[in-house]
Amino acid sequence: MSVSNFRVGLIGNPNSGKSSLFNALTGLDQHVGNFPGVTVEKAEGKIYLENEQVITLIDFPGSYSLHANTTDEFILTEHILREDLAPQAILYVLDLRNIDQQLLLLTQILDLKFPTFVVLTNTESFSTDYISKVKIALQSKMTIPFIDVNYRTKKGIPEIYFQLNKLIENKSNFITELNFQLIDDQVTKDIKILQYKQEYKTLYEAILNKHYYKKVSKTLDDRFPSFSSEESIRFQIQETLNRYKIIDQWVAELANKEGNQFGQSTWTKRLDQFATHPIIGYGVFFIIMYFVFQAIFSLASFPMDWIEGGFSSINSTIKNILPDHWMTDLVTDGLLAGLSGVFVFIPQIAILFFLIGFLEECGYMARVVYLFDYLLRKFGLNGRSLVGLISSGACAVPAIMSARTIPSYSERMATMFIIPLIPCSARIPVYVVLIAFLVPATTMFGIFSIQVLIFFGLYLMGILVALLVALVLKQFLPQTEKSYLLIQLPEYQLPYFKKVLIGTWIKVKSFILEAGKVIIIISIVLWFLSSFSMPGVFEKLEKETMTKCELLNKSTVECERELTSLKLEHSFAGMFGKLIEPVIKPLGFDWKIGIALITSFAAREVFVGTMSTIYQLASDSDEETLHSRMEKEKRQDGSPFFDFKTSLSLILFYAFALQCMSTISIMKRETNGWKWPIIQLVVMSALAYLSSFMVYQFM
């Protein structure tokens, strides 16, 4: 019998190991992190059991309580209270290291009489005997199954499948008879009447619907109005205190069985003396970030050279094998030239993703959120904003979505607005190409690479400008909600490297596929626009060039190089570049860069691919790298085109310009309108233009 419509909710606190369990049970790969905001939407996957039984597993965002304070937490509350959305059973994930903090939500779920069983995670640092004592003690209190798992050894996974089979056969065995919600005199008897009038299964369900019926689209009998704001707060406080009276008693009993196993370890406390110190902590953060960028430059240099050399060899081989035809040019000067401009930077992007994932798994990133909370509040943000700001180093789209974890409207809007100012992975190729024109590959004091310092400085500049923009927004956004940060600092731990590598591979693959789709389309279009013109234009240029070459007695190579350059300039692409050249000329840009600016509005990473295509078409050598071709580019007076001022101007333009259609699209979705995306586009475009103008005109 197939039960593919049987829905099980995966519920637990943030950082409890939910996403890891979801991946282990469904085979899907969700991002796993050590700070809140990792899962900001529910995810679904299938579990295939015996006898062709299929379960839909729903991974809900991590929550501390059903009394939601953030947008992502309310996803759980809404689904729990709405019959059309509610799962039929619950798989609760409980971090064994923090039992005292994670039982509150569990008791709320049990009071709603959902069939439930519990999975204990992060059991590696506890003895088998202690785990067994905890399971027996908690099972005796709640009369539901408890299973301990170890993701590295797969311990406990078969037992979860076994319990899911039993759950389908008989749900009543997974429902506790205890009621943890202590009803006192403050709760009037009309709630009990409401329970039966509205057909709520439990008294606690009636109470929650009296709190949230407007948000979950349920009709409430007019005789039983919802709680006022004061009543709601009072009942939430009273309920939480009542539950913790029971929880504290349980925790005391568990601690007495084998010493106090709860709270942070001595090792974690010692490290936090530095990592979370109000002064030293910032120094630790910047040192760690510098070495991240040092690794991006130094470790990636060799594979980048191999990839670039490989593309050049493939290009030359294809041109030697295939006939001189427009199809050959399309493959070599279009697709390969564009794709090489993206693939060559994959090592740097992979290193960035790996190191950020490593820091997340260690537990350090949660400390960064906590550390920066006080500072960010002065700019109209809070510590949770840092989740988005750090995530934007990979991509602005998921970073903007992560802002849902911020309860305050003003802080959430300010965070989403400034996220695109933080350099994302798509800007890495642009920065790497242009930094080489700013400073030579030398070191300071024999240790610090100058190019790495510039690269690191660009990120710091992006953060600084983002904070200044947030400070301006603070003056205009209404401050109507009380802001706070509630975050659990996990134990420091040795990362599960397989998990980090899988996460890195998923992100790199996503970058390749997403960039690849755009690059292939734009490369084909750009090759066509760069290789063709109005009828008769190229023929006229050939005649004029040949006549000129004969008169000046130029070599064949010089004539071909000049003709290639003239054809590109008078092509359709050249016409578009010339059209916007008067606007961008004050920034030090020419029509070739103008073409790249136009195409890269689809996605920033297209810039380097476009430049590769343009300079491949304008070059007489297939073996030259993009950097060497750009290095030979000259202005009319014979000076290098990509000098210090032009390169810095172009870097600043890409640092601030909102050249990403996906970012604009996600902003529209998250803000439910075009107002904020349009304001964001105008502000960032103006900031990009003015900064480039000031650098080029006045340096």
Q: Assess whether pLDDT exceeds 80 at residue 697.
A: yes
* pLDDT surpasses 70 at 359: yes
| Predicted local confidence at residue 542, as pLDDT | 82
Q: What's the rounded mean pLDDT across residues 394-422?
A: 77
Q: 224 by DSSP, 3-state: which?
A: coil
Work out how many domains the chain is built from and give that number: 1
pLDDT at residue 31 tops 50: no
pTM: 0.60
Amino acid (one-letter) located at 693: F
Q: How confident is the model at residue 603 (pLDDT cuts 50, 70, 90)?
A: low
Ranges 19-33, 136-150, 467-481, most confident: 136-150
User: Is the pLDDT confidence value at 6 over 80?
Assistant: yes
Mean pLDDT of 92-116: 87
DSSP designation for 155: B
Average pLDDT of span 63-76:
76
Question: Is residue 145 included in any domain, yes or no?
Answer: yes
Residue 64's contacts (CB-CB under 8 Å, 6 or more residues apart) are: 13, 14, 73, 101, 104, 105, 486
Give the model confidence (pLDDT) of 187-237 as tens digits: 555 565 555 555 677 778 877 877 777 666 555 555 555 666 677 777 777
- Domain residues for the domain of 155 are 6-174
Q: How confident is the model at residue 34 (pLDDT cuts 50, 70, 90)?
A: very low
In a domain, 76, yes or no: yes
Please answer whether residues 118 and 146 qualify as being in contact, where contact means their C-beta atoms are separated by less than 8 angstroms: yes
Q: What whole-number distance in Å separates Cα of residue 73 and Cα of residue 66? A: 8
For residue 122, being part of any structural domain is answered with: yes
pLDDT at 184 over 70: no
SS3 at position 440:
coil
Predicted confidence (pLDDT) per residue in 77-89, tens digit: 888 888 778 888 9
β-bridge partners, 448: 444
Residue 158 backbone dihedrals phi, psi, to 5 degrees: -60, -35
Can you give the CATH number for the domain in which 168 is found?
A: 3.40.50.300
| 533 — pLDDT class (breaks 50, 70, 90) | confident
CA-based max dimension of the chain: 106
Report pLDDT for 686. Answer: 92
Return the H-helix or E-strand segment holding 43: strand 43-48
- Give me the percent of the chain exceeding a pLDDT of 70: 78
pLDDT in tens, 427-462: 777 787 788 777 776 776 666 677 778 877 888 888
Provide mean pLDDT across the span 481-506: 71
How far does the chain reach from its first CA to its final CA, in angstroms? 75
Average pLDDT of the chain to the nearest whole number? 77
In a domain, 505, yes or no: no
Distance of CA 568 to the CA centre of its chain: 39
What's the pLDDT score for residue 691?
92
> For the residues of 148-183, what is the DSSP string, one character each?
E-BTTTTBTHHHHHHHHHHHHH-GGGG------S--
**Contact at 8 Å (CB) between 176 and 144?**
yes
pLDDT tier, 357 (very low <50, low <70, confident <90, very high otherwise): confident
Residue 153 falls inside a structural domain: yes
Pairing assessment for the beta strands 448-449 and 443-444 based on DSSP bridges: antiparallel
pLDDT by residue (tens digit) across 624-644? 566 777 777 777 777 888 888
Question: What is the C-alpha to C-alpha distance for residues 371 and 376, in angstroms, rounded to an integer?
Answer: 10
109 within 8 A of 117, measured Cβ to Cβ: no
Mean pLDDT of 377-402: 73
Residue 336 has pLDDT above 80, yes or no: no
Residue type, 83: E
Q: Is residue 81 part of a domain?
A: yes
Please indicate, yes or no, if residue 146 is contained in any of the structural domains. yes
Task: Note whether 11 and 60 are within 8 A (CB).
Answer: yes
**Domain contains 108:** yes
Strands 116-121 and 89-95: parallel
Give the DSSP per-residue string, 90-146.
EEEEEEGGGHHHHHHHHHHHHHTT--EEEEEE--TTS-HHHHHHHHHHHHHHH-S-E
147 bridge partner residues: 119
